[in-house]
Amino acid sequence: MYVAVKGGERAIEAAHAWLAEERRGDPALPELSVEQIGQQLGLAVDRVMAEGACFDRGLAALAIKQARGDLIEAAFLLRAYRTTLPRFGASLPLDTGAMRIRRRVSATYKDLPGGQVLGPTFDYTHRLLDFALACDRPGSPDPGRESQAPGLTAAEGNAPPSAPEAPAKAAAMPRVTSILAQEGLMQPETPGEAEPPDLTREPLSFPADRPVRLQALARGDEGFLLGLGYSTQRGYGNAHPFVGEIRMGEVAVEIEPPELGFPIEIGEITVTECQMVNQFAGSKTEPAQFTRGYGLTFGHGERKAMAMALVDRSLRAAELGEEATAPAQSEEFVLYHCDNVEATGFVEHLKLPHYVDFQSELEKIRQMRATALREAAE
Amino acid sequence: MSAVPAARPAEDAAAEGGEDRSDGSAGRLAGYNLGYLDENTKRMIRRTLLKAVAIPGHQVPFGSREMPLPYGWGTGGIQVTAAVIGPEDRLKVIDQGADDTTNAVSIRRFFARVAGVATTERTREASIIQTRHRIPETPLREGQIIVYQVPMPEPLFRLEPRVAETRRMHALADYGLMHVKLYEDIARHGQVAISYNYPVMVNGRYLMAPSPIPSFDNPKMDRMPALQLFGAGREKRIYAVPPYTAVKSLDFEDHPFQPVRAPAACALCGSQESYLDEVVTDDRGGRIFVCSDTDYCHTRQAAQPREAAE
């Protein structure tokens, strides 16, 4: 006789135990520390902070460890923690013009005040696997054989030679878009006085204004935005972008408590900012000028910041009176689908039981086939 | 709503800015507020619920939070349950009609941990029933709340994906598109080709997605004595059907609504009325049918003489 499958609770517990074992891997190998992840997988940490919408390197590294390196799962862990935190205020706008620059490149000017600073970039590396990195210790070419040795101290011996340093330039590094704005060539952005809306407290509604769009894009999935940004370059959205500037470095975060009446600095965060300069043919009322596509991410997230800037500009199609025909120009399409925590939930929920719905589909299909076959026979 | 008086002390605490953070006693998870959500969030959700009840079938946007379970696993239903549950409540959680499916087990355990509430598998004993994809066979009564987990709150989304556009259609009660879809189904297949999440008209005004329950369950929604609440976490919408509200499955006079059910009897309890799951028993076409509502089936089996059940 048939007995319904039971024991869901025990199955879940066993699955969790197995998962914990898999996460740890071979216990003969030293366990990865959260500090190691923070230091040596820094770009993964940056991505998780950006998509998890929470600037905390330690928590992001912990999430990566717990998620076994699944960065979307890690972003989800961070978001689920973030949502339980009290929200006690909004910071003042970051002044990225005053950034302590680690990297700054412009594709529009050969030289400019402050100069070009390559910084720690992959840009001109030759993508050749560096087998020297596979050695845990100097003189052990085969990590597979040697790694079982106990008492590895990671730091010794394999630190790269320190990079040459130059004294920091005292000169200011004005933003390229400000240089263009002086000549009136760049469409100005009007600063808003109102406190920006908070996407995590109020649901999206359409038409969405630009602060909401930028918030959603800043939390959005890097891969999704990359694909969309790419599509605008290939003709789906008619973009003519130049990288006015990419800058990465540290900026101060300031708040202004009402009882004080003046701003105080509460810390410093690393951000990457990309300002794309786009052609705008002008309209009846406005002469031709450049318009801005803007991208900003936590940490060092250049690909994301650039893709975000492309998508931000293409979402301004309606505002600038451009024809909106491409996916990247549809704010509902972009904003409803760029969140990877939402997207992964809904795609993956298909693996939950759907027996009941499937059963009604089965009966429906059987009925419809029976009707069709009966009619064919008549 | 038995949950509301029980939750009131916590709400007063919220007004003062305080919360009922657990110290870990009484089996509740330490460090989290009763029902996981903070009191201000619960209050925001209750206000949304009041609006939803006042406009039956209308989708009300709310500031849905990220929950510790993934979107698609019932985050909307969980938030609604968390907002109405109190220590006096008795919670039943079902998925596909069953109390012992893994996701139902997981959600029930979540509430046992963060709310410390009593749980039950008996439909009659529950004050709140959170469900995915089914309405229990045992008729619900006054005072009970059924909370549906909703993946897509918009009944028109397959016909019109743009939310700005569907909002306009709801505002104008412009549901011609759905009627045309049903008409085309009948013209092409001789019947409406929707078997679950079958659209309903609530209180003669709003077209509503009943969540992916089989169309078999639709008639149970009509003038149900219990309060029906619907939570869509990812889509950030809440809607409701107050007790004794008319809920009509869309149809035509000459093609009345026909719920779908397998033409068989339950192999365990013999029921000819309940909704059945098909169970494949071998790879030679062998199959049996059993009740999807496990509580209903167990109750019937227990009431029968032993031999009859075997």
Q: Looking at the domain assignment, is residue B14 inside a domain? A: yes
Which residues does chain A have within 8 Å of residue B310's beta carbon, measured at their own beta carbons?
1
Question: What pLDDT was estimated at residue A310?
Answer: 97
Question: What pLDDT was estimated at residue A266?
Answer: 94
Say whether both B243 and B269 belong to one domain.
no
Kindly determine whether residue A356 and residue B101, on different chains, have CB atoms separated by under 8 Å: no
Q: Looking at the domain assignment, is residue B124 inside a domain? A: yes
Burial B170-193 (b: 16+ CB within 10 A, else e): beeeebeebeebbeebeeeeebbb
B148, β-bridge pairs: B131, B230
Q: Across the interface, which of B106, B191, B278 has its CB nearest the CB of A12? A: B106
Q: Looking at the domain assignment, is residue B163 inside a domain? A: no
Q: Looking at the domain assignment, is residue B178 inside a domain? A: no
Overall size of chain A counted in residues: 378
Question: Which of A108-117, A160-169, B194-203 has the weakest average pLDDT?
Answer: A160-169
Assess contact for A303 and A227: CB atoms under 8 A.
no
What whole-number distance in Å separates Cα of residue A9 and Cα of residue B27? 18
Question: What pLDDT was estimated at residue A9?
Answer: 81
CA-closest candidate to residue B1, choices B65, B49, B71: B49
Q: Does B59 touch chain A (CB under 8 A)?
A: no
Q: How far apart are the first and last CA of chain A?
A: 41
Say whether both B270 and B245 belong to one domain.
no
Question: What pLDDT was estimated at residue B46?
Answer: 97
Q: Which of A85, A339, A352 to mutate to test the interface with B (most CBs of B within 10 A)?
A: A352
Say whether both B242 and B310 belong to one domain.
no
* Residue B3: pLDDT over 90: no
* Residue B222: pLDDT over 60: yes
Dihedral angle at the C-alpha atoms of A310, A311, A317, A322, nearest 10 degrees? 50
Question: What pLDDT was estimated at residue A152?
Answer: 45
Confirm whether B57 is a catalytic residue: yes
* Residue B207: pLDDT over 90: yes
Cβ-count burial of A122 within 10 angstroms (0-12 exposed, 13-18 middle, 19+ buried)? exposed
Q: Give the tens place of pLDDT for each residue, B78-105.
A: 999 999 998 899 999 999 999 988 899 9
Kindly determine whether residue A76 and residue B191, on different chains, have CB atoms separated by under 8 Å: no
Mean pLDDT of A53-78: 97
CA-closest candidate to residue B82, choices B217, B216, B195, B238: B238
| Residue B99, domain extent | 3-155+195-249
> Which one-letter amino acid corresponds to residue B178?
M
Confidence of residue A315 (pLDDT cuts 50, 70, 90): very high
Closest-CA distance of chain B to residue A2, Å:
8
The interface predicted TM-score (ipTM) is: 0.85
* Residue B28: pLDDT over 70: no
Which residues does chain B have within 8 Å of residue A9's beta carbon, measured at their own beta carbons?
105, 109
Cβ-count burial of A196 within 10 angstroms (0-12 exposed, 13-18 middle, 19+ buried)? middle
Which residues does chain A have within 8 Å of residue B274's beta carbon, measured at their own beta carbons?
none
Assess contact for B250 and B159: CB atoms under 8 A.
no
Question: What pLDDT was estimated at residue B35?
Answer: 81
Which residues does chain B have within 8 Å of residue A79's beta carbon, measured at their own beta carbons?
66
* Domain count within chain B: 2
Say whether both B230 and B282 belong to one domain.
no
pTM: 0.88
Mean pLDDT of B127-142: 97
Question: What pLDDT was estimated at residue A174?
Answer: 86
Kindly determine whether residue A84 and residue B38, on different chains, have CB atoms separated by under 8 Å: yes
Site of tokens 């708040």:
A255
Q: Does B76 touch chain A (CB under 8 A)?
A: no
The half-sphere exposure of A334 on its side-chain side, counting CA atoms within 13 A, is 38
Question: What pLDDT was estimated at residue B19?
Answer: 58
Question: Which of A31-45, A74-88, B15-29, B241-255 has the weakest average pLDDT?
Answer: B15-29
Q: Where are the beta strands (DSSP E) in chain A?
A: 100-105, 241-255, 264-280, 289-298
Kindly determine whether residue A332 and residue B163, on different chains, have CB atoms separated by under 8 Å: yes
Question: What pLDDT was estimated at residue B23?
Answer: 60
* Residue B116: pLDDT over 90: no
Last residue of a domain, one of B206, B224, B249: B249
Question: What pLDDT was estimated at residue B306?
Answer: 61
Say whether both B138 and B286 belong to one domain.
no
Q: Does B109 touch chain A (CB under 8 A)?
A: yes
* Residue B2: pLDDT over 80: no
Question: What pLDDT was estimated at residue A38?
Answer: 96
Say whether both B308 and B203 belong to one domain.
no
Mean pLDDT of A299-311: 97
Kindly determine whether residue A9 and residue B105, on different chains, have CB atoms separated by under 8 Å: yes
Q: Give the tens place of pLDDT for each residue, A288-302.
A: 889 999 999 999 999
Say whether both B54 and B200 belong to one domain.
yes
Q: Looking at the domain assignment, is residue B176 inside a domain? A: no
Assess contact for B266 and B299: CB atoms under 8 A.
no
Say whether both B95 and B43 belong to one domain.
yes
Q: Looking at the domain assignment, is residue B269 inside a domain? A: yes
Question: What pLDDT was estimated at residue B7?
Answer: 37
Q: Cβ atoms within 10 A of the Cβ of A188, count?
A: 10
Pick A143 or A267 by higher pLDDT: A267
Say whether both B137 and B271 belong to one domain.
no
Say whether both B217 and B300 belong to one domain.
no
Q: Does B18 touch chain A (CB under 8 A)?
A: no
* Residue A203: pLDDT over 70: yes
* Residue B8: pLDDT over 60: no
Mean pLDDT of B129-155: 97
Phi, psi of A105 (to 5 degrees): -130, 145
Mean pLDDT of A94-123: 91
Which residues does chain A have within 8 Å of residue B278's beta carbon, measured at their own beta carbons?
359, 362
* Residue B126: pLDDT over 50: yes
Kindly determine whether residue A12 and residue B102, on different chains, have CB atoms separated by under 8 Å: yes
Confirm whether B297 is a catalytic residue: yes
Mean pLDDT of A336-364: 93
Question: What pLDDT was estimated at residue A196?
Answer: 82
Mean pLDDT of B200-229: 97
What whole-number distance in Å separates Cα of residue A32 and Cα of residue A65? 8
Q: Does B276 touch chain A (CB under 8 A)?
A: yes
CATH of the domain at B54: 3.40.50.11310
CB pairs under 8 A between A and B: 155
CA-closest candidate to residue B207, choices B170, B179, B165: B170
- In this prediction, what percent of chain A has a pLDDT beyond 70? 92
CA-closest candidate to residue B136, choices B173, B96, B104: B96
- In this prediction, what percent of chain B has a pLDDT beyond 90? 76
Q: Looking at the domain assignment, is residue B111 inside a domain? A: yes
Confirm whether B18 is a catalytic residue: no
Question: What pLDDT was estimated at residue A7?
Answer: 62
Say whether both B116 and B22 belong to one domain.
yes
Which residues does chain B have within 8 Å of residue A344's beta carbon, measured at their own beta carbons?
70-71
Question: Which of A35-39, A371-375, B238-242 has the weakest average pLDDT?
Answer: A371-375
CA-closest candidate to residue A57, choices A77, A37, A71, A76: A37
B201: helix, coil or strand?
strand
Mean pLDDT of B161-177: 96
Say whether both B244 and B265 belong to one domain.
no
Q: Looking at the domain assignment, is residue B183 inside a domain? A: no
Mean pLDDT of A6-31: 90
